[in-house]
Structure formats: C-alpha cells, structure tokens
Amino acid sequence: MGNICPFCDKEFTNILDHISIRHRISSIEDYESKVKEKEDKKIKIRAFLEYSKEVTERLRRGEISPEKLRELRDKWMKDNHLIW
Amino acid sequence: MVKMEHKIINREIKNVRINLIDISDENVRTQKQRENLEELKTSIQRVGLIHPIILIEGKNGKFSLLVGQRRLLAFKQLNQSTIPSIIINDLDSLSRKILSFTENIHRRDLPYSDTIRICDELFNSYSGSEKTKIDKIAKDIGISPGTVAKYLAYRLVPKSVQDMVTKEKISRNAAYKITTAFWPNYEKIEKIAKYASEVPNASWSRALDVGRKKPSASADEIIEESSSASKDLQFSVSFSKDTYDILESKAKERGKIEKRDISVKEFILQIIEEYLSRGE
C-alpha cells in the first residue's frame, strides 16, 4: 500500500504531518468532510463528462451550434456548482 | 543523628557576571543540557529569563551554580555577560543535591492539550505559507518549528486519546504513532490506545506491526494476535562499531523504502523473522 495523499495524490512520509499542515485538516470531522467533498467533485466531474459527450454528439449531428454547445456546458457547470 | 536542614534561609536576586559562575558538583542535571536549547534561547530573546538561576556565593567572589545549567548555557551562547540569579545561603552537599533535584524533577514537558490548542489557534489565525506560519508560531511561543509541526499533527489524535495523554496513561509519542498507523479509523485508534495504556511498549508496538500487515483486521483481532502470538525474549548482544554502523545504515535504507523510521532493534527483529520465514 503506497502512501499517497487522498487530496493531492502526492506521496507522504506521515499522513498526520502531511494533511495537518499541507491541507490544514485539524480533526477527523474535517478530514471526512474534505474526503466527501473530493468524492462529490469526482462524481460531478464524471457526470459533466457524460453530459459533455452527449452535447458534443448533438453538435456532430448538426443539431446545435458550437456556441450553443459552449452555452449548454457552461449552464450545466453553473447549475451543478462545478468549479473546475 | 544529625538533623538535616535543606531550607533556604537567605536569598538575594541580582545580575551576576557569567565568567564568575562555576557549575556545582551537586548540580543533578548531567545529561540533556543541550536538548531544546534553541527553544530556550528563542524564549529568552523574546521574553527574557522568567526564572533566575540559583547560585551559592563562594570564596574570592566566585559563584557556584546549583540550578539552571541550561539557562546559563543559553545565556553564554547568546553572548550575554550577566545573568539574573538568586543567591542563596550556603548549604551542605546533600541539601544542594536535593534542591537541584527538586527543581529539575518539577520540570514538565510542554502541556499537551494547551500546546495543541495554541498551535491550532495561531495556525488558523496567521496568514502566509505553511512554513511562514509555523516559523511565526515557533518564534511567538518559543519552541522550534519542528515541535510546532508535531503539535499541529497531534490535533488529529482523537480527543479521547488526547485525554489519555493528559492523564499520562500513554505517551504523546504512542498516541501519535497509533493514530498514524490506524488513521482514519477512530474506533481502531481508540481501542489500540486503550490497549497501549495497559501493556508494555513492546506489546502495543507489535499491535502496530500486526495492523500494518493486516490492514483489514479489526482492533480486537489485532489485539488478540499481538498479545498471544509472541513471547518476549530479552537479551543483549554486543556488536563491533563497524557492524552496528552497517545495521544502522541498513535500517535507514529499509525505513526509506517503508517510508517510516525503523530502529536498529526493529530491523534486527525483521531480519530474524524474514530468515525464519524462508523455511527449509
């Protein structure tokens, strides 16, 4: 099992030393909430990539313009509070 | 029977020239004089000397240091010419030793919970990079940056385990090692910490090894295996310096691979276990 940080994917020597300073985590609650935040973001990114694939397909079929594609993607990100 | 009187009768506080002070034979601090000296020097530079050293006036205007070797050393290293001192009446040799011992034995490590709290508060209040903040905290409270970093990591030790440290049921180092080994499983950390408070160091260290080898084992399984699977055999071995140096360097190499500190003792234990597990 490698010592990889769940937040920055970097290697660490000691998890407590690393996350307490580098990620400013000061309690287990803090840790769990940040892990959840990270998981939620991963899920959102996956959903966005799916949506993006779908609208790009519509662009290929000529159903929407490139401007509309950008507009739809931006709207999705805004509605789902996804900050890249 | 001679009645011993250890009480200080006369005391006088004044600044004494450092070059007039000799270290008394009765000063009980014979080791660790230089430990954390940088922190003491920082504190002296920042707030001055809180507790004067204790001297006995001798012949020819010289003084004998009874208590405060580290403070004197810090003042010397800070190139000070005088040091605030309490001059007491001369005491018999035994009384000098008792006074020196009593003064030293009342020393305590930094208060655990209070130091965690203050480091946490300051870390959250200060701005700048992690390093800048740690350096500033270190300067402000007079401890080394490494110690500040350690106390910031101690914040992640579960509160119940922090209480055990405060009540001196386990050491702060044990609490830190156990939390690191089983992070983020608080249930396991708390159970192993409780186990550590009841058994010798070697037993809970074994629990960490078992936990490392079997990450999915429950706390109860870890405790059961570490308490039943091994028998302590204590013996001492003399190595030549060259052999010891090789062992030390190999332990360091292995520590790098495993990304943790491995002592020579642990390394020897590992190589014995590895040799035996090779079979016929």
B179/A25 Cβ within 8 A: no
B180 and A27 in contact by Cβ < 8 A? no
Assess if residue B3 is contained within a domain.
Answer: no
Same domain, B226 and B246: no
Classify residue B127: in a domain, yes or no: yes
Structure confidence at residue B161 (pLDDT): 95
Q: What is the pLDDT of residues B21-54, one digit of tens each?
A: 988 766 655 555 666 688 888 888 888 888 889 8
Stretches in chain A below the pLDDT threshold 70: 1-2, 84
| B214 shares a domain with B183 | yes
In a domain, B31, yes or no: yes
**pLDDT reported for residue B157:** 96
Domain locations in chain A as residue ranges: 15-79
CB-CB contact of B49 with B15 (8 Å): no
Nearest to B186 among A15, A22, A28 (CB): A28
Contact B156 A14 (CB under 8 A): no
CA distance B167 to B170: 8
- The mean pLDDT value of chain B amounts to 83
Q: Is B6 part of any domain?
A: no
Instruction: Determine whether the interchain pair B156/A31 forms a contact, defined as Cβ–Cβ distance below 8 Å.
Output: yes
Does the residue B5 lie in any domain? no
Give which of B135, B112, B134 is closest to B123, Cα–Cα. B134
Give the three-class secondary structure for B91. coil
CA distances from A43 to A40, A47, A49, A50, B11 (A): 5, 6, 10, 11, 73
Mean pLDDT of B154-182: 93
Residue at B193 is within a domain: yes
DSSP B259: T
Question: How many Cβ atoms are within 10 Å of B83's Cβ, its own excluded?
Answer: 23
Q: How far apart are CA A49 and CA A28, in angstroms?
A: 31
Nearest chain A residue to B129 by CA distance is A22
B45-90: per-residue pLDDT in tens?
Answer: 888 888 889 898 887 889 988 888 889 999 999 999 999 998 887 7
Q: Quick one: residue A20, left, alpha or beta (phi over 0 = left, psi -120 to 50 = alpha)?
A: alpha
Question: Residues of B at the A interface (Cβ-Cβ below 8 Å)?
Answer: 120, 123-124, 130, 134, 149-150, 152-156, 158, 176, 179-180, 183-184, 186, 215, 259-260
* pLDDT at residue B2, rounded to an integer: 39
Nearest CA distance, B250 vs chain A (angstrom): 18
Looking at the fold, whether B145 and B222 belong to one and the same domain comes out as no
Report if residue B1 sits inside a domain. no
| Residue B33: predicted pLDDT | 62
Write out the H or E segment, with its range, that includes residue B102: helix B93-105
Would you list the DSSP string of chain A? ---B-TTT--B-S-HHHHHHHHS---SHHHHHHHHHHHHHHHHHHHHHHHHHHHHHHHHHTTSS-HHHHHHHHHHHHHHTT---
Chain B partners of A1 at a C-beta cutoff of 8 Å? 215
Question: What is the distance between the alpha carbons of residues B178 and B57, in angstroms, rounded to a whole number?
Answer: 50
B48 and B93 both lie in a single domain: yes
Task: Find out whether B66 and B100 touch, Cβ atoms under 8 Å.
Answer: yes
Confidence band of B4 (pLDDT split at 50, 70, 90):
very low
State both tokens at B161: 């385990």
CA B189 from chain centre, in angstroms, equals 22
Residue B176 has pLDDT above 90, yes or no: yes
What CATH number corresponds to the domain at position B89? 3.90.1530.10
pLDDT of residue B170: 92
Same domain? B182 vs B245: no
β-strand pairing of B63-67 with B21-23? parallel
Look at A4-18, B116-130, B266-280 and tell me which has the smallest mean pLDDT: B266-280
**Which domain covers residue B68, as residue numbers?**
11-105
pLDDT of B1: 39
Whether residues A21 and B153 touch (CB distance < 8 A) is answered with: yes
- What's the total number of domains in chain B? 4
Is B138 a residue whose pLDDT tops 60? Answer: yes
Identify the pLDDT of residue B199.
Answer: 87
Quote the percentage of chain B above a pLDDT of 70. 83
Residues B97 and B71 in one domain: yes
Q: Is residue B141 part of a domain?
A: yes
| B254 and B219 in a common domain | no
pLDDT digits (tens, 9 = 90+) for B192-249: 999 999 988 888 888 998 998 888 999 999 998 888 755 666 778 888 888 999 999 9
Choose, out of B152, B212, B257, the residue to mutate when testing the contact with A (most A CBs < 10 Å): B152
- Residue with tokens 């009593």, as numbered in its chain: B102
Q: Burial of B77 by CB count in 10 Å (0-12 exposed, 13-18 middle, 19+ buried)? A: middle
